A = this chain, B = another copy of it.
């Protein structure tokens, strides 16, 4: 790569646009490189202000070559990729309790056994994902694993499940975070939807800055939360061991009316709601590639640490929730954890610190989805299953479109469900378990094909994982169908169909547009007719006519007049000019300029289908912005109307007004 001395860029100017040419750095004969100045050289005042704001919010642009530096340590990796799973410890217990409470306070002791089963499932899933990390050191998301091993359709189902899931992760986490906040500041309850939407916007902004900065932002709250929860549970265990635990009296209006008898169905529903405990486990195996080397080892250590921390907090909370018979707040204003802290420690700085860190953790847990969704959409877009816009990276190397779409959808769900965690959770876990199951099934198929060292163990582990998560997925559909899971069952196939349609479009297009040999070699040009609209005979028209004459000797000018008299008067002036060019006049009694012009041009195209009709449109460009408002933009409107016509080429001749 030849690198020459870089000339100083010169500020651009409307009068001398040519100086902008120096903005490119010449690397060799016909080889140039754009610089950071190239980005900014073509902005107006408004653009410049916007860019300054953007730089302030998102930092300076990064070149593609700067990518490799954006990697994570284990400590930061746990914060970025583990926060989704760890944060669900803040509401998993509560969601179990909330279902069980339907059968009365007496059955709340079932909380701990259900939690133990869930931790057992978690262990199986974690072991399964260790196998994924082993098999796909570059990062093996459910989509990739399902698609490679089970085929496109299975991959797309997994992808659809994951996309729904990412959106709901953001909605649920942020809603739960706001709930942790309103536990300390009940006055904010009325504002919960606005706070949640604002939090999603802030998350999106953070992610538009880029992944490393995002991680730094999120490390502190997760470790404060972990320390707080482990401290709380340790203190509670100490008081339990010393027999000094207080007794719990719920607020009188919280006492649950017994809404349902205790049944297997109810226990299954409680289990299914508690299954949010497993969300986010796959994030680490998806993102092996973002760890610092050696990526695989770091990912496995982080995954195990995450599972152990989660299990400890979840079981501890479930134990004490069952022990005290804590009741859930029917209005979803105060969380179970907040009640527990107030009971054991009382209100005070500890309560505030733990709840705030939980709130921040939950809100930033949504960040896992902000890492996952755009990446998944990028992979899908590269395979033509999503619009190619999702494959483009912005100035800061992040997937701008994916981040914005995710934020928009999550805000929609938060508003639609009025920020209720319990309502959102009914839609949530189904997608998770569909993706789990397909991923584990894919791994089974993988091991059978590769048969490398340890394949039998891997296959067994993944087989068990697939069976367990598949069973939970089916269970979730059956018990939560009428409560909202049906929506997911409608959307998932629609998403798959959409992705297939998108792929169909790109495939058709590529096939149709592909070159055949010789297409680029010189060919006899098609016969050409030039058509020029003329409203007034003036300088812009004269410049256009000179250009038109250089294109072809076959020129026709068209004049649209409001009356026959005006048309005849124009023809008289035209004949005086002695151009020798034929003039067509069209009387337009309805005073419309555009449609008669289109009608005439189409008639020319019809008369000679082999001919290219070149429409030369002169256009004067006023000097001051407000002067544009004083013109009807007929030239521009004609241009827009002609853009998509077969055999019609539009030539735009600008005339820059100087005074």
Contacts and interface: CB of A to CB of B under 8 A. Distances in A.
Interface stretch (A131-139, A210-218, A469-477, A576-584): A576-584
B649 A649 contact: no
Given A389-B632, A644-B656, A585 B17 contact: no
A66 to B, nearest CB: 8
A591 interface: yes
Contacts of A392: 591, 632
Size band of the A side of the interface? 35 or more
A648 B655 CA distance: 10
B63 A631 contact: no
Contact of A539 (B42, B63, B513, B629): B513
A559 to B, nearest CB: 10
A590 B61 contact: yes
Contacts of A600: 21, 24, 32
Given A17-B645, A20-B603, A579 B521 contact: yes
B42 A594 contact: yes
A596 B32 contact: yes
A22 B520 contact: no
A495 to B, nearest CB: 15
A629 B1 CA distance: 38
A598 B614 CA distance: 24
Contacts of A537: 515, 520
Contact of A622 (B505, B511, B622): B505
A180 to B, nearest CB: 39
A603 B513 contact: no
A342 interface: no
Interface string A292-327: 000000000000000000000000000000000000
A266 interface: no
Contacts of A644: 621, 654, 656
Interface string A535-547: 0111111100111
A532 to B, nearest CB: 11
Interface in A377-399: 387-389, 392-395
Contacts of A594: 42
A34 B595 contact: yes
A525 B509 contact: no
Contacts of A621: 643-644
Contact of A38 (B61, B502, B542, B599): B599
A515 B528 contact: no
Interface in A644-659: 644-646, 648-659
A525 B513 contact: no
A388 B593 CA distance: 15
A456 interface: no
Interface centre among A19, A21, A539, A540 (most CB of B within 10 A): A21
Given A38-B599, A631-B388, A646 B654 contact: yes
Contact of A605 (B17, B42, B393): B17
13 contacts: A21-B599, A21-B600, A23-B599, A31-B587, A34-B587, A34-B596, A65-B563, A393-B591, A395-B592, A505-B627, A509-B657, A515-B539, A520-B578
- 8 smallest CB-CB distances across A and B, nearest first, come from A18-B606, A21-B603, A63-B589, A525-B550, A34-B596, A513-B538, A519-B542, A20-B602
